[in-house]
Chain A
Amino acid sequence: MTPARIAIAIFVVLLAAGPFYLPEFYITPVNYVGLYSLVALGLVLLTGIAGLTSFGQAAFVGVGAYATAVASVQFDLSPWLGLPIGLALTAFVALVLGWLTLRLSGHYLALGTIAWGISLSYVFGNVQGLGGFNGISNIPPLPLFGAKIQTAREFYYLIWACVGLAVVALVNLLNSRPGRAIRALRNASMAESFGVDTARLKVVVFVYAALLAGLAGWLHAHYLRFVNPGPFGVGASIEYLFMVVVGGAAHVWGAIVGAGLITALKDWLQDILPKLFGTSGQFEVIVFGVLIILLLQHAGGGIMARLARLFPPKRAAAIAPAAAPDLPRRAAPARGETILEVERAYKAFGGLVAVNAVSFTVRAGEILGLIGPNGAGKSTMFNLITGVLPLDSGEVCFRGERIDRQRARHIVRRGIARTFQHVQLRPAMTVLENAAIGATLRGSGGVVPATLRLDRPEERKILFEAARQLQRVGLGAHLYDQAGSLALGQQRVVEIARALAADPVLLLLDEPAAGLRYQEKQALAELLRGLRAEGMSILLVEHDMDFVMGLVDRLVVMDFGERIAEGAPEAVQADARVIEAYLGAPG
């Protein structure tokens, strides 16, 4: 057993036995930690992993709590019915707010969530029927086979059972096909280029986090048997975020560690500060703020990031099986068949014509080099083919089908996979998991089966395929290394393996040799030759002449947005216009 597993086992045993040895005095705060942990778990997924900051989680707790309060007090429904009602309402509110605010980027999103977080908490306090600032009291306890879940000790088990299930569900989700897509959300353009509908997935993640908050709200209402707007304001939302930041936003256990630590810290401060300062002033908020600032200054990733560095996990979460059935494969075109046709592609940025009526074709089984000096329009051309930029006029056809009006995630579906000029790997994920992102479209399992761990047969196939592609490119020894720990040359090769995992017909490589040393370039060229021998078609954008000369079958040369030459490498090398473009006009 690893130290991490031993620590988790001890924690679970201590927790399960809690009611037998904990004095009454401690049961209540531990229950609160459980409630906070549920919300914080949602925030780990939303903020720590997907990179979406929400200052409004407490409002979702409020929706869940008020829904069950109104249902059970004013409509006399069973408290157990309050749960689905509360969750449905939370999901609905989250869908609407998510749809409205999630298209905002970065700090705009944070401000947007503050805005609706405040609005919702004012709604709780001011809408008729919700009891105003006095709230709703006399909420019934939970009936259970004639008995009741009522006391703090009884709720202890219910709350922590919910936390346990939420942890297991989240761990399952993260270690799955949709989970990898969620972990890739911070590189939205990369995720899109492997078929992830990032806009939709963000909403899914947002609703998932909101439902955990709504569940906490339901428990809160029946445990305290009283709701008022106080605990659902922006202040509480900020505290949830602090818990996650302190505990470690990128770690599932960070939620519980953070919730426990902040609760203990606040209790302790409320206890000790009046003794130190003699008055019962609001010193704890000052000390609390100062501690948060110090923590952010000195321990960025939170406590779990520190622990993970001290005790690195011995075994990766996702392990490739030794054998698995093949994923379905695409029918390959016959060698020599024209697969990509670019016809008079034109793109201008304001007055600058970046690509001016450029035409060329790519045939199956060849390596075509698209070269030109800096500023020639190569990268723009690349973006036009991959759907990152729209064409102004002209056409791009792939296997007889127009793709120039398609988005990146629809283009990859047709069999074009790409790499990036600036490596876009998830540095904290393993090499295997990064490559598996490439196979996203070859599976179909969604969030619910992943959470329930019903996705294992498909997961085995995906991981086996990712491992196979990594072995194909010669990285079989690095499957379980963190992608960020590899050298740049190896990272570029991981990108190629990730693209291969998408089972492409055409591979688009954006300056794969940039920043590589001589030996690494040699190895890369060897790898590409090998892929060609296996029938892969490759479009290579480069400005390194030496690298492409011995490698490609044909060259297209661009300069100032125009195609100035096309043909075999030797012929192009002798072309007067090409020499002029690279070396300047003679005389």
Chain B
Amino acid sequence: MNFDIALLLVQDGLTNGAIYALLALAILLVFAVTRVLYVPQGEFVTFGALTLATLQQAKVPGTAYLVAGIGVVTMLVEIATALRERRRQGLGTSALLYLVIPTVLLGLAAWLAPRQPPLLVQVLLTLALVVPLGPMTYRLAVQPIANASVLVLLFVAVAIHYVLMGLGLVFFGAEGWRTPSFTSLRVELGPMTASGQSILVLAASAISIVLLWQFFGRTLWGKALRATAMNRTGARLVGIPTEASGRLAFTLAALFGAFSGVLIAPFTTIYYDSGFLISLKGFVGTVIGGMVSYPLAALGAVIVGLLEAFASFYASELKEVIVFSLLIPVLLWRSLASRHVEEEHDE
């Protein structure tokens, strides 16, 4: 390998790593707030990428129908719960969230899609279509058993992954898509030529991370999420509703996932079932951060990206083996570093 190739691999690795970092942060956020190991995070990436790809063909993306359909199901569950608990407050908000907004989105998508709007509008519409699936997923699958053990929640997460992947196949088909580059710009940076696309990804990823950080530090809801992550019971006692925190965490995760999908779409062909491996790479990053540290999780994800780039150069067929085998020494180091004995009392 010569220096130029190394530089190219570093560039590739950093670009992928920046996307994995977004996923790692979302996974960590969801775990900290709800204790769900969010395996289906990758499905939001595929949904984002495939929605954008469909919009670029001037077609109405399947996500528009999906959001409307799942919205109706969520509303029915809300009504059933309200009847059982003999209360009526909150149903108005639910109707807005699960019926009105999805219907508006469907109308918007149907109107905009054939008109080939500019890229920025397409991206915004993609995010708007995918993000509502996050809180709906939380409401339907997680909220009813939010207090179950981490392992039961992990099984639920895996089942959600299956459902979303199956829905992905139904609504997007088995074909893979890759979107054209957002920009054909090339920048000379000393000895290397960086593609504008890579720079765009790095910048977008960095901005997202800064925004998330500001959200945590400056807003009331950000602080509420941090409080829930630190101590669920304590947060409840000071009046932070756990359900709302969980919903918000899933919403943010969906946003980060869909955005990652938009960013990754021009680099690699995305199929309906590409999500699992993508989110596992985010997981490797999260674990490197010990499932607690946001900066370390982001750093870990970048390491995963770099390792993947170099592994695919040296032994492309064993690329995944190398990346996932990395998890084992990291896990060992992590579990030796944290010397507390965890007792499980869930039967």
Q: Which residues of A contact B (CB under 8 A)?
A: 51, 53, 100-101, 103-108, 110-112, 114-116, 118-119, 122-123, 126, 186-189, 234, 238, 241-242, 245, 250, 281-286, 288-290, 292-293, 296-297, 300-301, 427-428
Contact = CB atoms under 8 A, between A and B. Distances in A.
B73 to A, nearest CB: 10
B141 A116 contact: no
A300 B162 contact: no
A311 to B, nearest CB: 19
B169 A281 contact: yes
Contacts of B156: 292-293, 296
Contact of A104 (B158, B166, B283, B331): B331
A293 B141 contact: yes
A71 B334 CA distance: 39
B342 A105 contact: yes
Contacts of B145: 296-297
Nearest to B143: A297
B238 interface: no
Interface residues of B, number: 49
Interface string B154-165: 111011111101
Contact of B328 (A53, A101, A105, A238): A101
Given A53-B151, A119-B320, A292 B280 contact: no
Interface of B: 37, 140-141, 144-145, 148, 150-152, 154-156, 158-163, 165-167, 169-170, 276-277, 280, 283-284, 287, 291, 317-318, 320-321, 324-325, 327-328, 331-332, 334-336, 341-345, 347
B320 A296 contact: no
Contacts of B158: 238
A119 B162 contact: no
B344 A51 contact: yes
A114 B163 contact: no
B324 A116 contact: yes
Contacts of A250: 347
B280 to A, nearest CB: 7
Contacts, number: 136
Nearest to A115: B327
Contact of B37 (A101, A107, A234): A107
A115 B283 CA distance: 10
Contacts of A188: 341, 343
B162 A105 contact: no
A131 B304 CA distance: 29
12 contacts: A101-B331, A106-B150, A115-B284, A115-B328, A118-B277, A118-B280, A119-B324, A285-B165, A289-B159, A293-B160, A296-B155, A301-B347
Nearest to A47: B151
Contacts of B280: 114-115, 118
B335 A108 contact: yes
Contact of A186 (B169, B287, B318, B344): B344
A285 B162 contact: yes
A30 B151 CA distance: 30
